[in-house]
Amino acid sequence: MSVTGIHEGVDPVRLLRNPPTVHHGSRGSARTLRIFSVAARCFLCGCLPAGDPPAGQHVIADRTLTGVYLSPSEQDGVPSNLLVTGPLRSFPPGSVYTNSDAYGPDGAALSDLYAVSYVGISMPTSGLVGLQPAASDFLVDYRAFTSGTIPTDGLGRLVLVQYSASADSLRSQRVDLATRATDNLGYPDVKSNQQFFTLSPARTRVYSGDYASGTLCDLDACRSLDYVSTDAVMIYADPNNFAFVGEDFYYIDQLSGASSILGGSLHRIKPEAAPEVLLSFTGIVSFQPILSDRTPQLLLSLRTDGGDAPFALLDTDTLKTSSLPADKGQAQFMSASSDGHWLAFLTTIRASDPTQPDDHRLFLYDWTTGNYATMDSARVGQTIGTYLEWRPDRAELWFSTLPDRFGIWRQDAGLTVVQAKLYAYVRAPYGKPSAFTRDGRHWFSSDGGERPTIYVGSSDDPTAPLQALNPRGTGTTSYWETDDGSLLVGAWTLDGNRKDIYLVDADAGTSRAIASTGHLVALGRTRALALLNWESPRWSGDLTLVDLASGAPTVLARDVYDVAVDRGQSAHVPPGTDALAPGTRVTYLTNNRLASPWDGLWAASLP
C-alpha cells in the first residue's frame, strides 16, 4: 500500500512514528460551510459525476472502504493479492489498548481485511456484503506494515496483527489466503516503538515476540521460544537482543536466578535446526550484527554491576570472540561503515555547566585490520555533537560539531572541518533520514529555523557553493530520488499535502517546477504518480501521472484518497525495475463529494 493522503503528504516519518494519525484511508470531515457549498452546487448543477469515469476496472462499488493494498503472491503467473479494509472502528470500551502510552496503538484502528478478486470480473461488486474477511479485527498500525504494504513470507502468506476482543490482546498471525489457514505467531511487543514482527532477508522465517517469549516460524513449522528454566527468562523485544543474520536467527535468553544475579545465554537457530548455545554470560548482554564482505560478526556489549559496557566481536563462523582496544573507553556503538569494516563509537563527556551542551569523543575501529583512530574537541576545535554518519560506499565519517560546523574523517586524508550544518533529510517513500543521497555523491545542509531552507552540495567538494532546494519560508520534509540521481523536492506553505514539486539536478545546479497542489505517491524512471489538486478537508485529490521531462500531466481518476502500486508477483524487486512502467497495475479508492456510481475500488494498468 502506498502511504498517501494524511499518511505521507505532510511528513511520512513523523506520521509513521505517531500511531494516532496512522489510519489508512481515514479522511477528514467536511466543515459546515463546505457541506453547504456542495449542496448548493448540487442544487444548481446536479450531483452526477462530470467528465470521464476513472481509468480502469471498477471492482467494488462502496463508499466505506478505508485502505487498499497489493501484496505479492510469490507464484509464477499469479497476480498480486488485492486487499482492502472496510470501515474503521475503535478498540472496545475498557480495552487496555485505549489507554496505553504515547507509542501504543490507542490511536490506531481496527478493521476487517478482505481479499478481492479483480481478474476477469465484468461488473463491480456492490459493497462488502457477502464477502468473508480474510482477517477480522485487523490492526491498522504502522508497526504492522513493511514499506507501506502488508508483508508476505516466501510463500505469499500475509503476516499481520489481529485483535482478540475475548482476550483483549493482540496476536501476530500468518494467513494463507488460498486455504485461510492461520499460524499464530504469539504476542507482539506493544510497548516499544518497533516493528511487531521481523522477517528474515529471504522471508523464509518470521519472528514475533514480547518481553518474555516469542515465536519463530519457518515456512512449514513454528516453535515457541519461552521458558527454558524454572526461574525466569526474557527474550527482550529490544532489537539488540534478537536478529536475523542471513536466515540464521540469534537471540538472547536473559535469565534471572534465585540469587538475583543476572546472566544468560546467546543462542542461534539455523533453518530447520535445533537451537544451539553460542556463549553464556553473567550480566546483561545485547548485540548488533556487523555485515560486510567478511564473515558476519556480532558486536557484543556486556553491562556489569560496575556500570562497565565492554565490547567484543563474535565471529559467527568460528564462534571465537575478540576484544576491542582499551583506548575505546566507555562508549556507545553508533554505526558501521557501508562496507562493514569500520565501527564508530561515541563517548559522552558531561558539561560542568548545565547550561552548556555535553561534549563527545569519537573512537573509530577497523575490525578487519585492527587500525583505529580517536577524535576529541581539542583536535576538532569545536564541541563534538551526537550526529554522525558514514558516507555511502566509502570509509568516510561525517559528524556534527557545535555550534555551526561539521567534521569529515578519512584514514588516508585525516580530518577536515567544514563551516556548515549537516541536515538529515528523509528520502521518500520509506527511507530513513540521511545527510546523503543514496549514492553518497551529494549531501544536505540546513540554515536552521522552524522552516529551514535545505541545501544540497557535492560530497567530493563540501566547501563548494550549495544549491537551495526549497524556496525561503516554505517547508519541506522529504524528497524522492530518481535512478539518475535527480531529486524531486516538495515544498509547501500552508498545507503539507499541497506541495509545489521541483525536479532538481544537483550536478547542473538547476531546478524547475513540474507539478503543484499535491504530493507524490510513487516514482518511476521517467514519470511520477501524484495526487494533485489535493483537498485536505476531503482527503482526496486527482490521481495523475506526471512526465518528468516535460511536466505533462495525465489524469487517471479524481476524488482519489488511497493508492497501491503493484510491485509484481514477488516481494524481491530486481534492481533497476521501472516502478511505473506502462502496464503496471495500480489500484485506488475513490469517493465523490456525494454518492456516485463511480465510488469505490478501481484497478487500472498504467498507459
Assigned C-alpha cell, 89: 472502528
Q: Residues 6 or more apart from 531 whose CB is under 8 A from it?
A: 4, 5, 9, 497, 518, 519, 521, 540, 541, 542, 543, 544, 560, 563
Task: Answer with the residue of higher pLDDT: 519 or 52.
Answer: 519
* Per-residue pLDDT band at 362 (split at 50, 70, 90): very high
Q: Quick one: average pLDDT of 544-573?
A: 95
Q: Quick one: average pLDDT of 383-390?
A: 96
Pairing of β 135-140 and β 125-126: unpaired
Phi and psi, residue 268, nearest 5°: -135, 140
Q: Quick one: average pLDDT of 109-133?
A: 87
Residue 410 β-bridge partners: 396, 414
pLDDT of residue 4: 34
pLDDT of residue 264: 82
**Which range has the top average pLDDT, 119-123, 253-257, 369-373?**
369-373
| Cα separation values, 287 from 259, 264, 420, 576, Å | 25, 13, 34, 34
Note the pTM of the prediction, 2 decimals.
0.87
pLDDT of residue 142: 80
pLDDT of residue 377: 94
Helical H segments across 296-413, by residue range = 377-380
Average pLDDT, the chain: 86
Task: Answer with the residue of higher pLDDT: 365 or 46.
Answer: 365
* Per-residue pLDDT band at 99 (split at 50, 70, 90): low
pLDDT digits (tens, 9 = 90+) for 16-54: 233 322 334 444 333 333 433 444 444 434 454 545 789
